[in-house]
Amino acid sequence: MQLELVFIPSPGDGHIKPLVEVAKLLVERDDRVSVTILIIPQMVGFSTGSSSSYIASLSTASEDRLHYNVLSVADEPNSDGPKPNFLAFIDSFKPQVKAAVEKLITDPAQPESSPPSRLAGFVVDMFCTEMIDVANEFNVPSYLFYTSNATFLGTQFHAQYLYDVEKYDVSDLKDSDITELEVPCLSRPLPVKCFPSVMLNKYWLPIVFGQVRRFRETKGILVNTFAELEPHAMKFFSGGDNNLPTVYPVGPVLNLKTKGPDSTDDKQTEILSWLDEQPRESVVFLCFGSMGGFREDQAKEIAIALERSGHRFLWSLRRALPKGTMGHPGDFTNLEEILPEGFLDRTAKIGKIIGWAPQNAILENPAVRGFVSHCGWNSTLESLWFGVPMATWPLYAEQQINAFELVEELGLAVEIRNSFRADIMAEESELMTAEEIERGIRCLMEQDNVRDRVKEISEKSHVALMEGGSSHAALLKFIEDVTTNIS
């Protein structure tokens, strides 16, 4: 009998792409498994060239046992009325998801020669937990796909437990004298300054915990990590006495295609050709993700630091949106106006400033020695996969915890400043000084202790996905459990 799984990613490249890659792995691992991916479109104002082109490519990419269904864009809200928040936007697609699944299980076009199939469950993104209600209507189990790491997942579970059972509110830490908190998925206390802003915010924390409570309703959680990377966190989840769903570390789940957003082949060729002309392991790459933009004063501090460091650089520089607006950063229109006078001329032979970056192709290039990163989890896994050490510059979401884990827990990165705040919900971002940035770049480019550890974990990341590897085994265990849960 065929096992039909329905996958529901939340909008955004960092969520759709890894979930699609997991689906591909599943159908490759077991010919009894079929997957239908229901794709929710981006909210107005958040769509990028990358997302649009990728979704368009999926809409024509359906194949045997792997199908894509792009849901219709919901009616636009009245421009004069309140704008829906992200979770409410996801929730509005419940009727479409239900209709799509009903059509899937009653499809009269199914060939009589095909083996009988059975709806085996939903796999929902970490921001699509409301879709568990739809799975319940079909009386099938739900599973979660968690795009971040096991350590942050464990931190969320622990903070929610403290709130609901111990009546301890972690958001009170923001204004207290307590500087750190014991978290069982870490081997050392987590500094309060490294907690995500949403977990120190009285408005957002109940919303976060509402999601985490729904995590507990699932039969299992697929996490984009591998056991060798986060041993302490995986020990916490395998304890068996915490009443949590089974956790399957199935990563690193990566989309390694290098073609990108508003890119052209010419733009990518130009960037990679420049890298090919640089000496081996001589370039520091700076890139801050799809939401990582900076004000003019911060861009100037980075430029000063790069020039003082004397290292060759490839810098993906994006302009922060005006305060109070939401969306993706754009490019600066005139770099000479915002960077130090003469900077572009003085660094013309050793540096290159770009907008969009073909990140995987850059990290794979032998000229790159270090990566100054916002510590988004997908970028972190890519950097480890290619064996490139990082300097941590977290901006928002869970990136402060990621940075702490990489530097203090795992010894896989050097620190610029882990407590930096540039949250998309913050009224004003902090300013990182040129001195701090230069010190971090020099440490990244001139020391070898972290580099050796990164090379070691890079090899383990590749082995984990091979037959007999830890992530390969975890995925097979997931398929086995899916089968058991519908018996």
> Could you tell me how many residues make up the chain?
487
Do 281 and 414 fall within a single domain?
Answer: yes
> Does residue 35 surpass a pLDDT of 80?
yes
Instruction: Output the pLDDT for position 71.
Output: 93
Ranges of beta strands (E only) in 94-252 are: 117-125, 142-146, 180-181, 190-191, 220-223, 246-249
**Considering the domain boundaries, does residue 400 fall inside one?**
yes
Do 35 and 143 fall within a single domain?
Answer: yes
**Considering the domain boundaries, does residue 455 fall inside one?**
no
Q: What is the rounded CA–CA span in Å between residue 3 and residue 5? A: 6
Q: How crowded is residue 240: how many other Cβ atoms within 10 Å of its Cβ?
A: 8
**Considering the domain boundaries, does residue 188 fall inside one?**
no
- Label residue 420 by pLDDT band (50, 70, 90): low
Q: What is the mean pLDDT of residues 434-462?
A: 96
Q: What is the rounded CA–CA span in Å between residue 233 and residue 247? A: 10
Q: Which DSSP letter does residue 12 get? A: S
Do 234 and 339 fall within a single domain?
Answer: no
Bridge partners, 221 (sequence order): 144, 247
Q: Which DSSP letter does residue 249 get? A: E
Residue 117 belongs to domain spanning: 2-152+208-253+465-485
Instruction: Output the pLDDT for position 380.
Output: 98
Do 246 and 335 fall within a single domain?
Answer: no
**Considering the domain boundaries, does residue 325 fall inside one?**
yes
Q: What is the mean pLDDT of residues 74-91?
A: 67
Q: pLDDT per residue over 282-319, tens digit each? A: 999 999 988 888 999 999 999 999 999 999 999 999 99
Q: What is the rounded CA–CA span in Å between residue 234 and residue 242? A: 13
Do 232 and 95 fall within a single domain?
Answer: yes
Q: How crowded is residue 174: how many other Cβ atoms within 10 Å of its Cβ?
A: 15
**Considering the domain boundaries, does residue 424 fall inside one?**
yes
* Displacement of CA 47 from its chain's centroid (Å): 17
Provide the CB-side half-sphere exposure for 228 (13 A, CA).
20
Do 352 and 243 fall within a single domain?
Answer: no
Do 84 and 224 fall within a single domain?
Answer: yes
Do 421 and 479 fall within a single domain?
Answer: no
- Label residue 124 by pLDDT band (50, 70, 90): very high
60 CB-near residues (< 8 Å, 6+ apart):
none
Report the first-to-last Cα separation within the chain, whole angstroms.
12
Do 7 and 60 fall within a single domain?
Answer: yes
- Label residue 328 by pLDDT band (50, 70, 90): confident
> Does residue 367 surpass a pLDDT of 50?
yes
Number of separate domains in the chain = 2
Give yes or no for a contact between 413 and 392, defined as CB atoms under 8 angstroms apart: yes
Q: What is the mean pLDDT of residues 155-165?
A: 96
- Label residue 46 by pLDDT band (50, 70, 90): low
**Considering the domain boundaries, does residue 385 fall inside one?**
yes
Widest CA span in the chain: 72
**Considering the domain boundaries, does residue 175 fall inside one?**
no
Do 89 and 140 fall within a single domain?
Answer: yes
**Considering the domain boundaries, does residue 53 fall inside one?**
yes
Do 332 and 414 fall within a single domain?
Answer: yes
